[in-house]
Amino acid sequence: MQNTQPDTQPAVVVAGAGMAGVQTAVALREQGFTGPVTLLGAEPHQPYDRPPLSKAVLLGKAEDSAFDVDFEGLRIELRLGVEVTGLRAADHEVDTEAGPVPYDVLVLATGAEPLTLPGTEGVPGVHLLRTLDDAERLRPVLAATPAIVVVGAGWIGAEFATAAREAGCEVTVVEAADRVLAGALPAEVAAPMAGWYAEAGARLETGARVAAIEPGRVLLADGRALPAGAVVVGIGARPATGWLAGSGVELGPDGSVTADARLRTSLPDVHAVGDCASFPSARYGARLLVHHWDNALQGPRTVAANILAGLTGGPEQTYDPVPYFWSEQFGRFVQYAGHHAGADTLLWRGDPAEAAWSVCWLRDGTLVAVLAVGRPRDLAQGRKLIESGAALDPARAADPTVALKSAVL
């Protein structure tokens, strides 16, 4: 670890002022780090939480969602409106639009950026929903209640459609795949969720590929034209790592920084956390890229602990969480914990036609993932059982009247 001031603690620079970046800076202070901490944020706004953007902020129920963090009191130097543009590891410097920033230890926390539809940049009325500025641009659009077309029936598409219907807009959701949540859940589990759109008064078109977006309408590949006073694109996100090209930081095929089990990168003194980084999971035997809030909350504690371990010579921590996320859509609270790829058994708990139900995935009899719709107790108990590696009695686990924790063998 390079240290230009050998008698003091090293200077830590955190690139990215979203949840992962802010929590890394805070965790360093909470765990006793006293050296300089600099937080670089590309946006001009005070660092903020993203989940409320598609809910309270979008509907005008909140002005913003700034983190309640006393940066000055924690002696965290906050540099806003400073976008990182490159990394020169040999010089231990991050390049920014405002000039180079030297570091002794660097944490990459630049998050993810939304995917766009080719040919739609600059087309009037086309919106993304990722930043506070995006939400502020969309808020008056919703208030005018136009006919809105949402491209993408994933988590963000469903959440935006929910807000748009609450605002009184006519909503059509178009999805290129043949079902909702095609990249997230098996077909049989996602199938009941398709009906939620119609219940909420939204029109859902699956197997519908967008050919072009013109002012006032969306043209589909089958020749149909959908009226659209506004278009919101929610087709996923990719790690915001383009600025690392040529830096020597190893990136995976998905564009993620390939961190190790301690969230260290391929370069010395450089760590990575949150949406921009993937990590190897011994629990699941796979490398995971988790674009969800809880990962951006939990990972920073491991990064901070390992930075301090590098100073003290103490033991380092590995990062192998049970991934968790939630989504509020169409009057339902949907929660998921775990990773169901590789599961060999799927169990239903309750009737998906009802308001509340859950799904459990087992591998060799052990619970590896749970999806809960309106059954928070299933999620809470299931998450703990996944962490402990518990084996379940399939018959009892499939009985919705039996507590999951009571199905342990």
pLDDT in tens, 232-251: 999 999 999 999 999 999 99
Cα–Cα distance measured from residue 242 to residue 227, given in angstroms and rounded to the nearest whole number:
35
> How far are the Cα atoms of 145, 189, 216, 289, 354 from residue 57, in angstroms, in the given order?
16, 30, 25, 27, 30
Domain boundary among 175, 209, 233: 233
Count: domains in the chain: 3
Is a pLDDT exceeding 80 seen at residue 165?
A: yes
Residue 253 lies in a domain: yes
Cβ(291)–Cβ(183) under 8 Å?
no
- What CATH number does the domain containing 175 carry? 3.50.50.60
Is a pLDDT exceeding 70 seen at residue 314?
A: yes
Q: What is the mean pLDDT of residues 162-173?
A: 95
Residue 7 confidence (pLDDT):
45
Residue 257 lies in a domain: yes
Residue 317 lies in a domain: no
Residue 57 confidence (pLDDT):
78
Domain boundary among 174, 204, 233: 233
Residue 220 confidence (pLDDT):
97
Q: Which residues contact 2 (CB under 8 A, 6 or more apart)?
A: 10, 92, 104, 269
Residue 370 lies in a domain: yes
> Residue 335: which H helix or E strand, with range?
strand 332-338
Alpha helices in 111-210 (DSSP H): 132-143, 155-166, 187-199
Q: What's the pLDDT band for 377 if we cut at 50, 70, 90?
A: very high
211 and 264: one domain? Answer: no
21 and 98: one domain? Answer: yes
199 and 249: one domain? Answer: no
Q: Considering the chain, what is the average pLDDT of its residues?
A: 94
Domain boundary among 280, 312, 344: 312
Instruction: Please report, as a single letter, which amino acid is at residue 149.
Output: V
Of 62-71, 143-152, 168-177, which gets the smallest average pLDDT? 62-71
Residue 1 confidence (pLDDT):
53
229 and 244: one domain? Answer: no
Chain-centre distance for alpha carbon 75:
28
Of 72-76, 101-105, 313-317, which gets the smallest average pLDDT? 313-317
Please give the order of strands across the beta sheet that includes 37-41.
76-80, 37-41, 12-15, 105-108, 270-272
pLDDT in tens, 87-136: 999 999 999 999 999 999 999 999 999 999 988 877 889 999 989 999 99
108 and 246: one domain? Answer: yes
Residue 55 confidence (pLDDT):
76
Residue 17 lies in a domain: yes
226 and 156: one domain? Answer: yes
Q: What's the pLDDT band for 146 if we cut at 50, 70, 90?
A: confident
Residue among 320, 262, 269 nearest 290 (CA): 320
Q: What's the pLDDT band for 303 if we cut at 50, 70, 90?
A: very high
358 and 385: one domain? Answer: yes
Is a pLDDT exceeding 70 seen at residue 54?
A: yes
Residue 355 confidence (pLDDT):
93
> For residue 347, what are the β-bridge partners?
360
The percentage of residues in the chain with a pLDDT greater than 70, rounded to a whole number, is: 98
265 and 335: one domain? Answer: no
Cβ(106)–Cβ(272) under 8 Å?
no
107 and 249: one domain? Answer: yes
Residue 118 lies in a domain: no
Is the whole-model pTM more than 0.85? yes
Angle formed by the axes of helices 293-312 and 19-30, to 10°? 40
Residue 4 lies in a domain: no
Residue 385 confidence (pLDDT):
98
Range of the domain at 244: 12-113+237-312
